[in-house]
Amino acid sequence: DGGITQSPKYLFRKEGQNVTLSCEQNLNHDAMYWYRQDPGQGLRLIYYSQIVNDFQKGDIAEGYSVSREKKESFPLTVTSAQKNPTAFYLCASSIDSWTEAFFGQGTRLTVV
């Protein structure tokens, strides 16, 4: 099946540890996005990538890092510099920057 896969669905980490969230798509989409959602809130953009080997900061990039070495993969690292990392993280992709985006099912990260 074509789609966007985020793994794992639930992730627990100790405070001070870096953690990497996976996002893979087999839709041949050029653009990929990472969003963060806090309880009862809308989505906020962390990073986005219009094309392989290129990415830009979104509204809340501090404490996060990404890479886009392959078209189908856009991993997000939550670093120890992120003050409040516990949240629901959503990855999305779109054919290009002009078309609708499709979302994965999210990873719920809990830092204790």
Partner 1 sequence: DAKTTQPPSMDCAEGRAANLPCNHSTISGNEYVYWYRQIHSQGPQYIIHGLKNNETNEMASLIITEDRKSSTLILPHATLRDTAVYYCIVRAGYGQNFVFGPGTRLSVLP
Nearer to partner 1, 48 or 85 (CB): 48
> Is the separation of the CB atoms in 69 and 53 below 8 Å?
yes
DSSP state, 14? -
- Which of 44, 80 has the CB closer to partner 1? 44
Q: Which stretch binds partner 1 (CB under 8 A): 12-20, 61-69, 76-84, 86-94?
A: 86-94
Residue 10 CB, nearest approach to partner 1 (Å): 11
Give me the numbers of helices (H) and strands (E) for the chain, helices first please: 0, 11
The answer to whether 48 contacts partner 1 (rule: CB under 8 A) is yes
Q: Give the integer Cα–Cα distance in Å for 36 and 30.
A: 21
Among residues 87, 61, 77, the alpha carbon closest in space to that of 18 is found at 77
* CA–CA separation, 21 and 8 (whole Å): 7
**Residue 27 contacts partner 1 per CB under 8 A:** no
Q: Which stretch binds partner 1 (CB under 8 A): 11-19, 45-53, 68-76, 79-87?
A: 45-53
Find the binder of partner 1 among 1, 15, 83, 98 (CB under 8 A): 98
